[in-house]
Chains A and B, each alone.
Chain A
């Protein structure tokens, strides 16, 4: 039987790469995004379902829409998120409210909506956190705080929903291209990795790397893995000074 997955934030960057990887692995994919054009393009490319809506909208229920379209869900990947390129003094109340709403409250809301469907299939829930949630970055202070909260949410749900047969894990990407760092307006020139610190492995993390980790955590090989935040950062969080000894970064 074909497995079914919902990916929020699926129309660009890491989310789109996850959609493409799961489709290539034979999953039926519901692509959720706020841009109608981008979301429909990815869904059409993959023969999947487009789910339109903004995670900031409390009335938006991508889980219900995916269940309507696919008839069930074996995996839900709550990947939609925003960043504020600001240290704490520069983080406005509006910045913080948007970060909290989309990165944490919407994730909680959509996870609760997915519980019954995932219990029915003994499915898997994946949350996108960040390496900045593991080891904070003062230049993206609010984002780091929300991504630490996502990790705690993941661990609590893993323990709480384990008896229902649901596995809950998190992806912790480092700077990834294409990804939030290269696609957020005002943060970098689109596609540019200029100024990135080279990780110990030398090569920048690619969105396909994150998608591969997601495919592993959603798959049968990870059947006994739950409550884990998996760093995919080419070693950046392995040492506080690892980047200083890295070879020339390959882009």
Chain B
């Protein structure tokens, strides 16, 4: 497997074997064209920027550029390589169930889940999102990413996998209990 890791630096990228992943869109796209990897991990795990209603527009634009724009352009380039490419996007768990206290990341992560859905039917791509809670060990995230990228479970194509230890399931249960 020829793996390219791009996006946010940190424990998850390091667990995937990249100490300093490419984070700029232009340089990451160039790396796609030059290296022609058959597996790509886009790590979109920035620090929380807090509620979206309190975030300056310029800061939101910067956050979007470093996460969803990077992922869209990488997936687009992967589709243009005309070879089989497996992609995994790694984003905050808030992309599945928004958390207004972490609203800025919730919004960009939601875009990644939709990117997975609309790219999944492209003939040369398989793509998944791992929506991960902040307290999940990086090694566990990397292990799941490597499993997906190994291609042994191709029917997972298009799925977003919540890796949160059941946190959101518990929240849903609490909501139901309180509603009753």
Contact = CB atoms under 8 A, between A and B. Distances in A.
A160 B100 contact: yes
B69 interface: yes
A153 B52 contact: yes
A161 B60 CA distance: 18
Interface of B: 25, 51-55, 57, 60-61, 64, 68-69, 72-73, 75-76, 79-80, 95, 98-100, 103, 106-111, 113-115, 117-122
Contact of A58 (B54, B57, B64, B75): B57
A146 to B, nearest CB: 7
A138 B119 contact: yes
Interface stretch (A7-15, A47-55, A100-108): A100-108
Interface of A: 58, 87-89, 91, 93, 96-97, 100, 104-105, 108-109, 111-112, 115, 133, 135-138, 141-142, 144-146, 148-149, 151-153, 155-161
A92 to B, nearest CB: 8
Given A89-B80, A97-B69, A136-B117, 12 more contacts: A104-B64, A108-B57, A138-B120, A141-B115, A145-B115, A149-B107, A149-B111, A156-B98, A156-B99, A158-B100, A159-B98, A160-B53
A88 B79 CA distance: 8
Contacts of B76: 88-89, 91, 96
Nearest to B121: A138
Nearest to B95: A152
B60 A108 contact: yes
Contact of B122 (A135, A138, A149): A138
Nearest to B102: A156
Contact of A100 (B69, B95, B99, B122): B69
28 contacts: A88-B115, A88-B118, A88-B119, A89-B76, A89-B80, A96-B72, A96-B73, A105-B57, A111-B53, A112-B57, A136-B114, A136-B117, A138-B120, A138-B122, A141-B119, A144-B114, A145-B72, A145-B114, A149-B68, A152-B95, A152-B103, A153-B103, A153-B107, A158-B100, A159-B98, A159-B100, A160-B54, A161-B53
Nearest to A148: B114
